[in-house]
């Protein structure tokens, strides 16, 4: 495609955001945009020493229950900084019950976890490290372990000026490290910044579908390609709940621990999603729109890892989503009306799949740190 035609295609794709024939209303959605620098909270400013401390802690399983499960256990760099199975790895003796999301570009998000239960990276880290089927840690135990590691005592003193490591400072350090895990030089970023050669012809056609006939822009908009809102798409229940006894036990434990009525406990066959936080039936089965960035490395997709590649995802949307229902029909009633059959051809599906690949740049690799050992404390 010649440069002028590429520019016209870009303009057509952006214009389609406001004129999408697949949308019943004339609502205009925030356009896709290059990703800038992440916001830094005023109460957790960045420093090289803090980031380095957070990196070490991210790899350290001693921030957990039995010192076997670290952040990196479920957010592995060679698995998209996520976990490449439908359900994430659980604490020893358990299985997790949801898909592990990537921490890449998570610094830009205002809501973390699939149901938005953490509003910052500083809140997300302890929630994962202390979750019963995740890290299963206890504050006092983890803090005591850090105090018996002279390397940490020295680093925490340098960064925070404390005599001993404090667990809250550990979470701040991990959050600071995660804010450096940024990929903002993708083909899409380059294209939207004016480099019309960054996308090939198939991807340019896919972007027009994304903004137009496919209707993807309705939820996957803005620089992160997420509106951070909640929807029930009709994603089918996790297959492992039907075949894996341990996964079924975890699921039953979670719906009991997070709170449902006795009647619902008897009939629930699927993840209630946002309902756990609000206890409002209209939120049954709704999950936060996931960002599309770095997704080339983070399969499988959806909150329970139902789909293993982009084509499966696109065909799911092309069919108008799925059907997930409880015995009483509560789940079916909350399915979003944004999803309708799209009637995409096989060629259009291929184009849209090709465009989705443009949200991911080079794979982000980080050299693992050397963990400081336990040592006898020097006497004064």
pLDDT of residue 81: 98
- Which has the closest alpha carbon to 239: 329, 300, 327, 289? 300
pLDDT, tens digit, for every residue of 88-98? 998 998 889 99
For residue 88, the Cα-to-chain-centroid distance in whole angstroms is: 12
Nearest to 294, CA basis, from 82, 129, 5, 67: 82
What local confidence, expressed as pLDDT, does residue 19 receive?
Answer: 37
Checking 125-132 for CB contacts under 8 A at 24+ apart, the result is 125/71, 125/170, 125/171, 125/174, 125/175, 125/178, 126/167, 126/171, 128/71, 128/74, 129/63, 129/64, 129/71, 129/171, 132/91, 132/94, 132/253, 132/257
Give the pLDDT confidence score for residue 379 in this predicted structure. 62
State pLDDT tens for residues 173-186: 999 999 999 999 99
As a whole number of angstroms, the longest Cα–Cα distance in the chain is 76
The pLDDT of residue 261 is 79
Helical H segments across the chain, by residue range: 3-19, 48-59, 71-74, 121-130, 139-147, 150-160, 167-178, 187-192, 201-211, 240-243, 245-258, 262-267, 275-278, 310-318, 330-333, 346-356
| Residue 147: predicted pLDDT | 96
DSSP of 27-47: PPPPPP----PPP--TTS---
**What pLDDT score was predicted for residue 43?**
96
pLDDT at 316: 97
Residues of the chain with pLDDT under 50: 2-26
From residue 52, alpha-carbon distances to 42, 77, 152, 171 in Å are 19, 16, 11, 13
pTM equals 0.90
Residue indicated by tokens 């079924």: 248
pLDDT at 11: 44
- pLDDT tens column, 11-53: 444 444 333 334 434 478 999 999 999 999 999 999 999 999 9
In order of start, what are the domains of the chain with their CATH numbers? 50-178 (1.10.760.10)
Q: Residues 6 or more apart from 207 whose CB is under 8 A from it?
A: 9, 10, 13, 32, 199, 355, 358
Whole-number pLDDT of residue 138: 96
End-to-end Cα separation, the chain, in angstroms: 74
């Amino acid at each position: 495609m010649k440069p002028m035609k590429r520019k016209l295609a870009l303009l057509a794709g952006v214009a389609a955001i406001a004129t999408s024939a697949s949308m019943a209303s004339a609502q205009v959605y925030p356009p896709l945009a290059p990703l800038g620098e992440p916001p830094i909270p005023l109460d957790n400013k960045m420093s090289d020493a803090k980031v380095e401390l957070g990196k070490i802690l991210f790899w350290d399983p001693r921030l957990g229950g039995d010192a076997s499960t670290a952040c990196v256990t479920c957010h592995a760099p060679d698995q998209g900084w996520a976990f490449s199975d439908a359900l994430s790895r659980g604490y020893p003796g358990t299985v997790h019950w949801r898909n592990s999301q990537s921490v890449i570009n998570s610094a830009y998000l205002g809501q973390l976890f699939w149901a938005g239960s953490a509003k910052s990276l500083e809140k997300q880290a302890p929630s994962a490290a202390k979750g019963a089927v995740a890290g299963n840690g206890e504050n006092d135990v983890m803090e005591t372990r850090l105090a018996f590691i002279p390397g940490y005592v020295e680093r925490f003193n340098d960064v925070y000026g404390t005599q001993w490591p404090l667990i809250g400072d550990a979470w701040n350090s991990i959050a600071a490290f995660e804010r450096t895990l940024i990929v903002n030089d993708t083909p899409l970023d380059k294209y939207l910044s004016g480099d019309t050669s960054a996308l090939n012809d198939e991807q340019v056609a896919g972007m027009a579908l994304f903004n137009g006939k496919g209707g993807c822009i309705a939820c996957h908009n803005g620089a992160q390609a997420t509106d951070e809102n909640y929807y029930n798409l009709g994603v089918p229940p996790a297959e492992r709940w039907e075949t894996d006894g341990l996964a079924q036990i975890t699921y039953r434990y979670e719906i009991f621990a997070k709170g449902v009525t006795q009647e619902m406990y008897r009939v629930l066959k699927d993840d209630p999603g946002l309902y756990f936080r609000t206890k409002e039936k209209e939120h049954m089965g709704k999950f936060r729109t996931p960002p599309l960035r770095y997704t080339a490395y983070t399969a499988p997709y959806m909150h329970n890892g139902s789909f293993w590649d982009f084509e499966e995802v696109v065909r799911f949307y092309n069919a108008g989503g799925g059907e997930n229902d409880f015995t009483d029909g509560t789940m079916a009633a909350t399915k979003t009306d944004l999803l309708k059959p799209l009637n995409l051809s096989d060629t259009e599906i291929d184009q849209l799949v090709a465009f989705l690949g443009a949200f991911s740049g080079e794979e982000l690799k980080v050299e693992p740190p050397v963990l400081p050992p336990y040592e006898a404390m020097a006497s004064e």
